[in-house]
Structures are given as structure tokens and as C-alpha cells.
């Protein structure tokens, strides 16, 4: 079976859905008319849509891939046409999603009544009644499937949706555009609700959001370059992601390139063009020069929002991805996050549009730490300990998040033990502070963490890692040492660097033990087993 999905999305979906929309429809009724309009409208807005193109209408049951796609979709759009109930496939899809909705409260069903009355769907009258008469003849009136399908239609028919009554194409195209715009707006609202905690960073998001309208000498017709600069773990990517999610809908196209410094520039050029142009099969690029020419030629007429996240000192990355303002259409904005302000200056970013992210003030730091350590305000008995630990984190959001998650639900004695470890930690050594969370893991989870730090960052999905390691990742997620977004393992580069340091230290220790007699060799063997 073949299926179609609009694979272009502006940014990582905070909600973790595989698809934004699942379309359910009877092909012979609407595939070449309304569905074409709707799918094109959804795709044009970058909404990830599952549309089963080659379904076998004669099938009695649906493929297992479809229930999975339904469960992994934020919105389910059911297009109720006159022949909808004649398809067992459609009825089974609807029954599946209505059952899923009861379990997943944030999954939304949007009915579209295509030349049928909602009461006919709700009460199985008109063409729906005729379809069920045929079903009764084939499989019996009391069949459990028929009862299940009728209940699903009754529930869906009571929902608020869209009602098409006119036959001409212009009206259908307008309705499709309205549906897509509504879904787009609701997805954007949902992404804001799922934003990472922005304690102490909200003002930064607002300021940079204002710059999107004011960049390039206050002339909105120009292309504006905006820099976000600061040390690792200070919240640059969090700020850029929030800005992107809030404003990407205001542009013709948008693309968020994560961890630019860790990727091949040609692959980044392909991703940039594919996402903004919404090319289903991807854009082919033969070399760096070819990529530069294609970006400039194909994006010159588009108002775009681009985020180049974590650019390092290699100016080539910027020159090959966003060489200058004449590469993009009027009103375009390019946001660059980096630890090196010199990169921004060398690329000609106006100093008044370079935002230097500061560490959090003490009260903001306590608030952020408490969010992860207590999921609310700190307990009165922990207030003093909380303040002491926060001061050692030096206002760095990443350290506050990881340590807060690590200490969550632990007793005061364990907090005091952590505080004692801090006393032997250099004030500015972020790796040593992050390692305290690693040291609190059991041996099995330490081993899993080191595997991920060494091999799996952004390379495999969560299920793939579990297959290899045969273990649950829940502890590492709870400790904020990793996260899973869009089915991919995510690990902050400072946390990964901390893992690399541990691996190197462990290997160095093993080498030193090698010459220390059989006791040393035994210790070396035990150490290396942890690495395997």
C-alpha cells in the first residue's frame, strides 16, 4: 500500500505527533475534487498530512499501519460523502479514531459534511441508511462491527465541523483553504502550549520577535539577519525555537536547521530548500556551489524565516547557507545562534540586532530549578538547600534543568550529598556539574547514557535505540539527560561532551591499571565492560 504525507514541517513538533493531520475519505467520491484542494492547502502551509492514496476499497479490514498513523496524528479529518458508509475501510478508520479520542484527550476530530446532512451521519439516514442496509445483508444486523461503526458515526455527527452544499469548484477550494487555515492556527496555538519552560527567557523571545519586524534598518522590505549569542547551555536554542514557533506562520516558507556545526553543509542546503519549497522528493544538489546557486535563485522571491542554530567559527556554514540579503525575498529574516559573536560580525550582522543571552538572575534560577525539581514551588523544608544548589549552577539554564530533574523526588539527605559534591567542583566547570547527574545513575543507565553519547545522538529513533540496548530510556528522559522529539533521540551538546569526557577518562584509567598487576587488570576489565 502506498501513502502520501506532506513531509515538510517548519520546526520540530513539540507535541511529538508523527502527523499533524490524518485524512479519512472515500476515494471515488472526493479524491479528484475536494481532497485534492484540501491536501494541497494543508501541504502549502507545511502541515504534515497522512493521506492513503491507494487504499483497496474492497478490503474488510485496514492495514495495521493505518491505526498507527491515526494514533500518531493530532487532527483526524473525516470527509463524510454520500458513499462514505459504503466503505468498510472508512468506517473502521472512523471507529478507530473515535476510540483513540477517548484515550487521547488532545486528539481532535474535524468532520466535513460533503453534500450530506449532519443528521444523516448522526442517525444513519439518507445514503447512510442505504449503505447500512447493504451491510446488514452482507454481515448481519447484530454484527459487533456494524454496532461499533454506527456508534462512531453517531459521535462524529454530533461534532462541530464544516458543511459543503455547493457543487462548484471555487467554493470547494475556498472551504479547503479555510479548513487548512483553521488547522494551521490551532497547531500554532498548541505549539505555544507545549513550549519548553521559558522562565527568565520570555522577555528575550518578545524582544527578538519584535526584531523580526524591525530588522535591517527598520525597513520591513529588506532582509534582516538577527544573532543570538551566548555560552553553551544558556538557552539560545530554546529562545530561537520559541520565536520560530510563534512567527513562522507569517512567512511564505520557514526552516529550522538544528546543530548546524555538526552537519555536512551540502546536506543542510538540501534540507533548507526541501523544507521551504515543500519538495516531496527532496532537492538534488551536486556540490556546494550548486547549492548556493539554487538557494539564491529559488528563494529570491519568497519571504522566508530561517534559523541556523549553533553555528561555529566556520564562516563557510553561513556563506553557503545564507550568503547575503539578496538571496531571499523582501521581509525575510535569518536568525543565527552561536557561541562566537565574531561569526556574526564577520557575516555583517548589524550589532544592534545581536542579542547577548545572559545567565538567569537568582530568583529566575530558583523558579526554573524548582519547575524541574518539584514541578511547582519549592517545599519550605528545601528552600535553603534549593538556594544553595542554584547558586552553584551560576544561572545556567541547562545545569538548572538537569540537576533539578536529577534531584526530583529525592530526600533532603541526597540533596545535601549533592551540595557536598559541589564544594569540590570548580565554579565555572559545567561538565563537572552535569556529571553529578550522571553519577546518580545506576550502572545500567550509565552504560546506556554513554552508548547514546557516543553513538546515537540524532542518528536513530527511540525504538531503534531500545532494540540495540534492550532497555528503557525513561530514567534518562526523566533526568533531562536526553529527550525524544519526533521519534529521534536529542541530547544537548554539552551533555554529550560530558559523556565523551567520561569515556576518555575511563579509558585513560583502564590503561593506567593495565600495568598494575592482576588486580589492576581485573579493575581494567570491569571498567571496560561498562563501556561496551
Q: What is the pLDDT of residue 519?
A: 52
Mean pLDDT, rounded, for 433-462: 74
Query: pLDDT grade, residue 446 (50/70/90)?
Result: confident
Structural domain including 238 reads 196-356
Which among 68-72, 278-282, 510-514 has the top mean pLDDT? 68-72
Q: How far apart are CA 50 and CA 178, in angstroms?
A: 19
Query: pLDDT grade, residue 394 (50/70/90)?
Result: confident
CATH of the domain at 527: 1.10.10
Last residue in a domain, options 304, 336, 356: 356
Q: How far apart are CA 341 and CA 257, in angstroms?
A: 19
Q: pTM of whole model > 0.75? A: no
Residue 297 has pLDDT above 90, yes or no: yes
Residues 205 and 276 in one domain: yes
Q: What is the pLDDT of residue 266?
A: 93
CATH of the domain at 152: 3.40.50.10140
Answer whether 37's CB lies under 8 Å from 30's CB.
no
Residues 157 and 301 in one domain: no
Q: What is the pLDDT of residue 4?
A: 41
Q: What is the pLDDT of residue 396?
A: 85
Q: Which long-range contacts does 422-427 make (Cβ < 8 Å, 24+ apart)?
A: 422/389, 422/392, 425/392, 427/392, 427/394
The number of folded domains in the chain is 3
Higher pLDDT, 451 or 426: 451
Low-confidence winner among 309-313, 359-363, 421-425 (lowest mean pLDDT): 421-425
Residue 12 has pLDDT above 90, yes or no: no
Instruction: Decide if 430 is inside a domain.
Output: no
Q: What is the pLDDT of residue 33?
A: 87
What's 59-91 look like in SS3? Answer: CCCCCCHHHHHHHCEEEEEEEECCCHHHCHHHH
Residues 325 and 203 in one domain: yes
Q: Other C-beta atoms within 10 Å of 378: how many?
A: 18
Question: Rounded mean pLDDT of the chain?
Answer: 79
Residues 184 and 224 in one domain: no
Catalytic residue among 43, 92, 93, 172: 93
Instruction: Decide if 393 is inside a domain.
Output: no
Q: And the C-alpha cell for 202?
A: 520570555
Query: pLDDT grade, residue 398 (50/70/90)?
Result: confident
Residues 133 and 201 in one domain: no
Instruction: Decide if 278 is inside a domain.
Output: yes
Higher pLDDT, 272 or 16: 272
Residues 187 and 245 in one domain: no
Mean pLDDT, rounded, for 90-113: 84
Residues 185 and 217 in one domain: no
Residue 462 has pLDDT above 70, yes or no: no
Q: What is the pLDDT of residue 216?
A: 46
Low-confidence winner among 49-58, 126-135, 274-283 (lowest mean pLDDT): 49-58
How far apart are the two ends of the chain, measured CA to CA in Å? 40
Closest CA to 360 of 388, 386, 384, 394: 394
Mean pLDDT, rounded, for 200-210: 88
Query: pLDDT grade, residue 516 (50/70/90)?
Result: low
Mean pLDDT, rounded, for 311-330: 86
Render pLDDT for 380-390 as a digit per residue (tens, 0 to 9): 778 888 888 88
Query: pLDDT grade, residue 228 (50/70/90)?
Result: very high
Answer whether 363's CB lies under 8 Å from 199's CB.
no
Instruction: Decide if 493 is inside a domain.
Output: yes
Residue 88 has pLDDT above 60, yes or no: yes
CA 307 to chain CA centroid, Å, is 15
Render pLDDT for 405-415 as a digit per residue (tens, 0 to 9): 888 888 888 88
Instruction: Decide if 214 is inside a domain.
Output: yes
Render pLDDT for 28-86 as a digit per residue (tens, 0 to 9): 999 888 999 999 899 888 788 888 754 444 444 555 667 778 878 889 999 999 999 99
- Residue whose C-alpha cell is 529559488: 298
Residues 163 and 240 in one domain: no
Torsion sign across C-alpha atoms 287, 275, 173, 58: positive
Q: How far apart are CA 93 and CA 67, in angstroms?
A: 7
Residues 176 and 229 in one domain: no
Last residue in a domain, options 147, 163, 191: 191
Beta bridge partners of 489: 484
Residues 104 and 229 in one domain: no
Higher pLDDT, 82 or 8: 82
Portion of the chain with pLDDT greater than 90, in percent: 25
Residues 162 and 224 in one domain: no
Residue 188 has pLDDT above 70, yes or no: no
Query: pLDDT grade, residue 263 (50/70/90)?
Result: confident
Instruction: Decide if 25 is inside a domain.
Output: yes
CATH of the domain at 349: 3.40.50.300
Q: What is the pLDDT of residue 328?
A: 93
Q: Is 93 a catalytic residue?
A: yes
Residues 182 and 55 in one domain: yes
Last residue in a domain, options 293, 324, 356: 356
Q: Other C-beta atoms within 10 Å of 272: how many?
A: 25
R_g of the chain, CA atoms, integer Å: 27
Q: How far apart are CA 257 and CA 309, in angstroms?
A: 6
Amino acid at each position: 500500500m502506498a501513502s502520501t504525507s506532506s513531509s515538510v514541517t517548519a520546526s520540530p513538533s513539540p507535541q511529538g505527533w508523527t502527523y499533524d493531520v490524518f485524512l479519512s475519505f472515500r476515494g471515488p467520491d472526493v479524491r479528484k475534487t475536494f481532497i485534492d484542494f484540501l491536501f494541497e492547502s494543508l501541504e502549502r502551509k507545511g502541515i504534515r498530512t497522512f493521506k492513503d492514496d491507494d487504499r483497496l476499497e474492497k478490503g474488510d479490514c485496514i492495514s495495521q499501519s493505518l491505526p498507527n498513523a491515526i494514533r500518531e496524528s493530532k487532527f483526524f479529518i473525516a470527509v463524510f460523502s454520500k458513499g462514505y458508509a459504503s466503505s468498510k475501510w472508512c468506517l473502521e478508520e472512523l471507529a478507530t479514531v473515535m476510540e483513540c479520542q477517548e484515550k487521547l484527550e488532545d486528539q481532535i476530530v474535524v468532520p466535513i459534511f460533503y453534500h450530506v446532512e449532519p443528521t444523516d451521519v448522526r442517525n444513519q439516514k439518507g445514503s447512510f441508511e442505504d449503505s447500512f442496509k447493504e451491510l446488514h445483508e452482507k454481515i448481519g444486523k447484530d454484527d459487533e462491527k456494524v454496532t461499533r461503526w454506527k456508534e462512531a458515526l453517531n459521535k462524529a455527527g454530533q461534532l462541530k465541523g464544516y458543511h459543503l452544499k455547493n457543487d462548484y469548484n471555487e467554493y470547494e477550494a475556498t472551504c479547503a483553504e479555510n479548513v487548512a487555515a483553521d488547522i494551521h492556527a490551532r497547531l500554532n496555538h498548541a505549539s505555544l502550549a507545549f513550549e519548553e519552560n521559558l522562565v527568565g527567557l520570555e522577555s528575550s523571545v518578545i524582544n527578538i520577535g519584535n526584531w523580526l519586524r524591525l530588522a535591517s534598518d527598520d525597513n520591513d522590505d529588506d532582509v534582516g539577519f538577527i544573532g543570538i549569542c551566548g555560552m553553551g547551555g544558556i538557552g539560545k536554542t530554546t529562545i530561537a525555537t520559541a520565536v520560530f514557533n510563534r512567527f513562522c506562520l507569517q512567512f511564505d516558507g520557514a526552516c529550522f536547521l538544528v546543530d548546524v556545526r555538526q552537519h555536512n553543509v551540502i546536506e543542510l542546503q538540501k534540507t533548507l530548500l526541501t523544507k521551504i519549497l515543500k519538495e516531496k522528493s527532496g532537492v538534488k544538489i551536486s556540490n556546494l556551489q550548486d547549492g548556493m546557486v539554487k538557494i539564491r535563485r529559488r528563494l529570491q522571491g519568497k519571504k522566508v524565516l530561517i534559523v541556523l542554530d549553533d553555528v561555529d567559527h566556520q564562516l563557510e556554514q553561513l556563506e553557503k547557507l545564507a550568503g547575503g540579503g539578496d538571496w531571499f525575498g523582501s521581509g525575510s529574516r535569518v536568525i543565527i545562534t552561536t557561541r562566537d559573536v565574531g561569526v556574526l560580525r564577520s557575516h555583517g550582522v548589524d550589532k544592534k540586532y545581536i542579542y547577548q543571552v545572559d545567565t538567569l538572575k537568582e530568583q529566575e534560577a530558583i523558579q526554573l530549578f524548582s519547575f524541574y525539581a518539584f514541578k511547582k514551588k519549592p517545599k519550605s523544608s528545601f528552600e535553603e538547600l534549593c538556594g544553595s544548589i542554584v547558586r552553584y549552577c551560576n544561572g545556567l539554564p541547562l545545569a538548572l534543568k538537569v540537576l533539578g530533574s536529577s534531584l526530583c523526588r529525592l530526600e533532603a539527605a541526597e540533596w545535601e550529598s549533592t551540595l557536598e559534591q559541589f564544594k569540590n567542583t570548580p565554579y565555572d566547570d559545567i561538565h563537572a556539574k552535569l556529571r553529578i547527574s550522571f553519577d546518580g545513575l545506576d550502572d545500567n543507565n550509565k552504560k546506556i547514557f554513554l552508548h547514546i553519547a557516543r553513538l546515537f545522538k540524532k542518528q536513530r529513533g527511540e525504538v531503534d535505540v531500545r532494540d540495540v540496548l534492550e532497555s528503557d530510556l525513561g530514567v534518562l528522559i526523566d533526568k533531562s539527560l536526553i529527550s525524544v522529539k519526533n521519534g529521534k533521540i536529542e541530547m544537548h551538546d554539552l551533555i554529550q561532551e560530558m559523556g565523551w569526557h567520561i569515556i576518555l577518562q575511563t579509558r585513560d584509567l583502564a590503561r593506567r591499571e593495565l600495568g598494575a598487576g592482576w588486580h589492576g587488570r581485573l579493575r581494567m576489565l570491569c571498567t571496560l565492560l561498562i563501556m561496551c
